[in-house]
Amino acid sequence: MRAFRMRDWQTDPVLTEVDTPEPGAGQVLVRVGGAGVCHSDLHVIHEFPPGQMPWELPFTLGHENAGWVESVGAGVTGLEPGMPVAVYGPWGCGVCDQCLRGVDTYCERQSEAPVERGGAGLGLDGGMADYLLVPHARHVVPLPDGLDPVTAAPLTDAGLTPYHAVRRSWPKLTPAALAVIIGIGGLGHLAVQIVKATTAARVLAVDTRAEALELARRFGADLTAEPGDGVTALVREETGGRGADVVIDCVGSDGTLTLASSVGRVLGDLTIVGLGGGQLPVSFFSLPYEMSVQTTYWGSRPELGEVLDLAARGLLQTEVIRFRLDDVAEAYRHLEEGTLTGRAVVTP
């Protein structure tokens, strides 16, 4: 089968031929229908020096995956060949407190052998291939009726990550609240929809690109703006001087973090989702009183089911740009150049 593999650190991956895996006991082989192209892969490809991550090379990229069950190993029940499924990407030990809650992202035994470190496309073989071997059936989630693998694939991260960020702030997203979403890309355009689908709060979408702001308006943003001093004034005007109740930064650069902290309100939430490498100075007077600042990493397996249900009901729509597996390098090039609006999905 074909697979887009990392063979050395800080070196471009290569599309190559590898053996098709066979599922062992408890495992599931998925025929890949869609694999999302995520900006975090660019960090893996270009920035990680040898030894920074506890991962062994080579491995296949692709951590946003959906497809159809091809075959199952001994002991797997409830999954039949041909069934459309999504794959929960982070793979933990399955027995620690966090994994038992379905939050494999925060597995407490990742540093212990023989726990598999990372997840699909993150140290272990992912879905930029014809087939994906999932090491445990608990990571395979049947798709609701009406949802196809190409649409579902980016929801496993680009949908799940902002959903988790929004969900944890639900108590603050009242009908009188304003949520500010910074960066209307693969995650941000879904974050806008998640706030609108699950709360009565208003949404202000912020991006440098006119086409991204148009996309945000199409998906329900009440207000849009380009970053700059005018955003802070707009937020104060729209909230009677209070500030935004919830800010979700899908970029995470120095500039966006400065903006995010300037528009928040007392007792508000600032959630950093983007991996832009920025820093947020924190001191007694640098943030509004009791503004909570947090980072998040993916979401839980139960939350993935909720995201898929929202999409199946038509409440979440992913802006998908399709690429063939033979053109996967081109998809990453467009992502790096910043010319994609929405989410690129590779369709083997």
pLDDT-based confidence at 75, cuts 50/70/90? very high
Mean pLDDT score, 53-60: 91
Render pLDDT for 103-149 as a digit per residue (tens, 0 to 9): 999 999 876 655 556 799 999 999 999 999 999 999 999 999 989 99
Render pLDDT for 154-196 as a digit per residue (tens, 0 to 9): 999 999 999 999 999 999 999 999 999 999 998 999 999 999 9
What is the model's pLDDT at position 117? 65
Instruction: Tell me the average pLDDT of the chain.
Output: 94
Dihedral sign for Cα atoms in the order 128, 129, 134, 135:
negative
pLDDT-based confidence at 247, cuts 50/70/90? very high
Render pLDDT for 2-14 as a digit per residue (tens, 0 to 9): 999 999 999 999 9
- 120 — alpha (psi -120 to 50), left (phi > 0) or beta? beta
Measuring CA to CA, how many Å separate 194 from each of 25, 212, 214, 269? 37, 17, 17, 16
Contacts of 301 (CB under 8 A, 6+ apart): 88, 102, 103, 104, 138, 139, 141
Task: Return d(Cα 49, Cα 40) in angstroms, integer.
Answer: 15
Instruction: Please state, for a pLDDT cut of 90, what percent of the chain lies above it.
Output: 86
Give the three-class secondary structure for 238.
Answer: helix
Backbone dihedral angles phi then psi of residue 242, each to the nearest 5 degrees: -75, -40
Task: Return d(Cα 123, Cα 92) in angstroms, integer.
Answer: 12
What is the model's pLDDT at position 12? 94
Render pLDDT for 282-312 as a digit per residue (tens, 0 to 9): 899 899 999 999 999 999 999 999 999 999 9
What is the model's pLDDT at position 276? 87
Tell me which DSSP letter residue 144 carries: P
> What ranges in 96-175 are assigned the alpha helix state H?
97-100, 149-152, 160-167
Domains of the chain: 2-156+299-346 (3.90.180.10), 160-295 (3.40.50.720)
Whose structure tokens read 């081109």? 330
Residue 222 confidence (pLDDT) above 80: yes
Q: How far apart are the first and last CA of the chain?
A: 10
pTM for the whole thing?
Answer: 0.94
